[in-house]
């Protein structure tokens, strides 16, 4: 008789877990106690068994000690501390790789994604959807600049990339285990998660919600970090910018050829008066600009190949702590 080898059992699995909640955080000690209180408040009411996965993305403050010291609740708790700040995308990957649940929800620690919506997300999942995207109805507490730049970015991204990345959907979403397994197997180092979540497809639905303002503290993103994320988003999901550069180059070459022909004919017919300084400058500056832009663009892609080729790990773990769920027998 052939005995089929099942996948390796996780050593810590004590009964099947339905829901995993992944929470990446970076210097959030002000908000974590309130976050944990609200999250466990919701999870404790659920029929489904759950676990919370806290990922400390190299916090400099007391956040790590806080999550490790919270009292036990009805959910298992798994805390991963990364060795330094690797960025939210890497922290989320670390969390996703350690989930055991049949469904996984990603949640920001700053209470902008209300934990109270978890039952609604589970309902959609039980209806058979594999991905439940949470779309913001409006962006409370965000500057006009951030809202406008985000909207331009999404439009640009979606016109360039093949998989539709829904606008105003952050990382707050539910994903079925089978999607998570595919995502965990993606080899790329450059993890633009919003694109990665959109890539596998599967049955998706979108739920509208009002995104709250940050509970306290300030955003961990500055303009340059966001710009970097935007460039990452575009270049890791599309090579259309390269094609546009090629097209632009060809167009300019054709125009230059026609203009050259005109200049030759004009010189033959009318002789050679020394004029044309303005047109020469315009052409030179224009061409120079396009060339530099295209080289820069090439550089972006080559840089990405370089990073992928090094194949370094996405993150390093410093320590891990685990807390089992409070035993049901002590419940009343």
* Interaction site with ligand UDP (CB under 6 A): 24-26, 28, 57, 85, 87-88, 91, 108-110, 112, 219-221
Residue 215 dihedral angles phi and psi, to the nearest 5°: -60, -50
Nearer to ligand UDP, 117 or 325 (CB): 117
57 binds, among Mg ion, ligand UDP, none (CB under 5 to 8 A by kind): ligand UDP
CB of 26 to Mg ion, least distance (A): 11
In the chain the beta strands, taken as DSSP E runs, fall at: 19-25, 50-56, 76-82, 103-106, 131-139, 169-176, 204-211, 317-323
Nearer to Mg ion, 73 or 112 (CB): 112
Task: Please give the Cα distance from 101 to 112 (Å, whole number).
Answer: 23
x-or-dash string of contact with Mg ion, 57-96, rule CB under 5 A:
----------------------------------------
Q: Does 112 bind Mg ion (CB under 5 A)?
A: yes
Both structure tokens of 123: 């309902």
Nearer to ligand UDP, 127 or 225 (CB): 225
CB of 142 to ligand UDP, least distance (A): 8
124 binds, among ligand UDP, Mg ion, none (CB under 5 to 8 A by kind): none
Both structure tokens of 180: 């998570």
Any residues with CB less than 8 A from the CB of 137 and at least 6 apart, and which?
208, 209, 210, 211
Both structure tokens of 329: 């027998």
* CA distance readout (Å), 276 to 136, 253, 259, 283, 286: 55, 19, 13, 11, 15
Identify which range of 1-9, 112-120, 189-197, 228-236 contacts Mg ion by CB under 5 A: 112-120
CB of 168 to Mg ion, least distance (A): 14
* Contact status, residue 10 vs residue 51, Cβ threshold 8 Å: no
Nearer to Mg ion, 167 or 212 (CB): 212
Nearer to ligand UDP, 203 or 212 (CB): 212
H-helix or E-strand containing 185?
helix 177-185
Nearer to ligand UDP, 76 or 113 (CB): 113
* Contact status, residue 113 vs residue 211, Cβ threshold 8 Å: yes
CB of 82 to ligand UDP, least distance (A): 9
CB of 227 to ligand UDP, least distance (A): 14
* Contact status, residue 124 vs residue 132, Cβ threshold 8 Å: yes
Nearer to ligand UDP, 77 or 88 (CB): 88
Task: Please give the Cα distance from 81 to 58 (Å, whole number).
Answer: 7
**By CB under 5 A, how many residues form the interface with Mg ion?**
2
Any residues with CB less than 8 A from the CB of 84 and at least 6 apart, and which?
58, 316
CB of 27 to ligand UDP, least distance (A): 7
CB of 260 to ligand UDP, least distance (A): 51
The contact set with Mg ion (CB under 5 A) reads 110, 112
């Amino acid at each position: 008789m052939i005995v089929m080898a099942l996948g390796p059992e996780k050593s810590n699995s004590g009964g099947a877990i339905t829901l995993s909640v992944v929470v990446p955080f970076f210097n959030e000690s002000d908000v974590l106690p309130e976050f944990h209180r609200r999250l466990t408040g919701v999870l404790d009411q659920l029929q489904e068994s759950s676990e919370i996965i806290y990922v400390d993305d190299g916090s400099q403050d007391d956040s790590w000690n806080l999550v490790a010291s919270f009292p036990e609740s009805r959910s298992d708790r798994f805390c991963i501390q990364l060795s330094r700040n690797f960025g939210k995308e890497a922290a989320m990957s670390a969390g996703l790789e350690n989930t055991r649940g049949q469904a996984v929800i990603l949640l920001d620690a700053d209470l902008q994604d209300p934990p109270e919506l978890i039952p609604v997300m589970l309902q959609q999942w039980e209806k058979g959807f594999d991905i439940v995207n949470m779309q913001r109805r409006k962006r409370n507490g965000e500057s006009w600049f951030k809202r406008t730049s985000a909207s331009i970015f999404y439009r640009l991204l979606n016109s360039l990339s093949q998989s539709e990345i829904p606008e105003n959907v952050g990382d707050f979403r539910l994903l079925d285990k089978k999607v998570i397994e595919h995502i965990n197997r993606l080899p790329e180092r450059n993890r633009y998660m919003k694109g990665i979540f959109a890539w596998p497809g599967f049955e998706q639905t979108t739920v509208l919600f009002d995104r709250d303002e940050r509970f306290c503290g300030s955003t961990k993103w500055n303009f340059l970090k966001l710009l970097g994320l935007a460039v990452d988003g575009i270049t890791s999901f599309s090579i259309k910018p390269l094609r546009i550069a090629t097209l632009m180059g060809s167009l300019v070459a054709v125009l230059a050829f026609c203009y050259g022909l005109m200049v030759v004919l004009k010189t033959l017919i009318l002789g050679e008066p020394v004029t044309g300084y303005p047109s020469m400058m315009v052409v030179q500056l224009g061409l120079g600009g396009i060339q530099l832009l295209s080289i820069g663009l090439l550089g972006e892609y080559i840089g990405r190949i370089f990073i992928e080729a090094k194949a370094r790990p996405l993150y390093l773990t410093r320590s891990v702590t685990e807390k089992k769920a409070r035993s049901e027998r002590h419940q009343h």
